[in-house]
Amino acid sequence: MNYKLVSSTFDDKEIKSINEVIKSDMYSMGKNVSKFEDQCSKYFKSKYCVMVNSGSSANLIALSAAVLSENIDLNKGDEIIVTSLSWSTTYSPFYYLNLKPKYVDIDIETLNIDIKKIESSITRKTKAIFLVNITGNPNEFDEIKLIAKKNNLIIFEDNCESMGAKYKKKYCGTFGLFGTMSTFFSHHMCTIEGGIVLTNNREFYETMLSIRAHGWTRNLPKNSIIHKKKGKDFDELFNFILPGFNIRPIEFEGAIGQVQLKKLGGFVKNRIRNSKIFYNTFKKYEDFILQKQIEESSWFSFTMICKGKLENKREQLIKFLNDNKIETRPICGGDFTKSLAAKYLGGNYKTKMRNAEYVTKNGFFVGNTHKLLNNEIKYLKIKIDEFYKTI
């Protein structure tokens, strides 16, 4: 048995879409990307969608647009509340935009931000909360929205690990000013590389369109509300109005995305089915903390946090599992405040994040995919039972 972290979601339909792009001889961002964006807007029930070359770039473009907007109160030097457990590129844009992270520890059961610790972390410089839905699991949005409203804070969402998750029937990624998602190979749907930003704010949307491609006006609509175009199209070819990047996706990604989006519902359903098998298999094990589901998780992976007899034995356990062809990974990027990169961002990274630190030392995950994993989960149980006999 080989229990892998991920498996390909492609079949002949994706290959056909790639060949259609080759036939068209148009590879850079074009009609396929635009069509995929429209389909994502409808699927996730958001007014606007901007596709970029990765989920990491989605975070960068969204935070950049928020800082550049004259109608959004987020400026250089401001603080943003953010969980201490996430992927590095949740935080990296803070450095380039001169924003300060205000790290908050996690709830060790949900792995999301500890709601009880948010308000005590707010200062007069705090302008926003950047929520991360970890490994498919939604945050408690109702309670967090009340905190945000009370303290006049903007809500952002990093939903890169949680495409398809829902909180009270509403898709995650649509609860704040923006929500980002990743379509990298190991995620819920795959466009090889890629990511999207969802928003209902037109001005914010148009700002991202400009920033995505050099800061120019060429991709703005004719009736743009951020820039009045000149009469001649030629004058708008190289007209730069914002400090931008080139983080455009390519047509292959847009074409594949259209195929994958049709399959996404089925992918998520199978991930949820697998989660029930996994949870029923391991819920009686006293030496593991399993992730507590909030509403409708899309189950990016299956996290296992060692405690009791297994506390501080994670290294031996994952070596045993890997030796038996069961692939494992750390939970997300671990406690980011303990990373060497944190020193570049400033903020309160010296504050001890007890739960995030514990997860970093004692947690790991095994894979979940769009395929049913009855046999793989059964094999995992057999091997964990075998490991118990070695300690």
Sign of the C-alpha dihedral computed for residues 81, 196, 272 and 373 taken in this order: negative
Q: How many CB atoms lie within 10 A of CB 277?
A: 16
| Token pair for 291 | 């992730």
Question: Nearest CA to 95 among 334, 358, 339?
Answer: 339
Tokens 């007890």 belong to residue: 354
Q: And the tokens for 370?
A: 């769009």
Cα separations in angstroms, 150 against 36, 145, 272, 387: 37, 8, 35, 50
What residues act catalytically? 187
Beta bridge partners of 103: 82
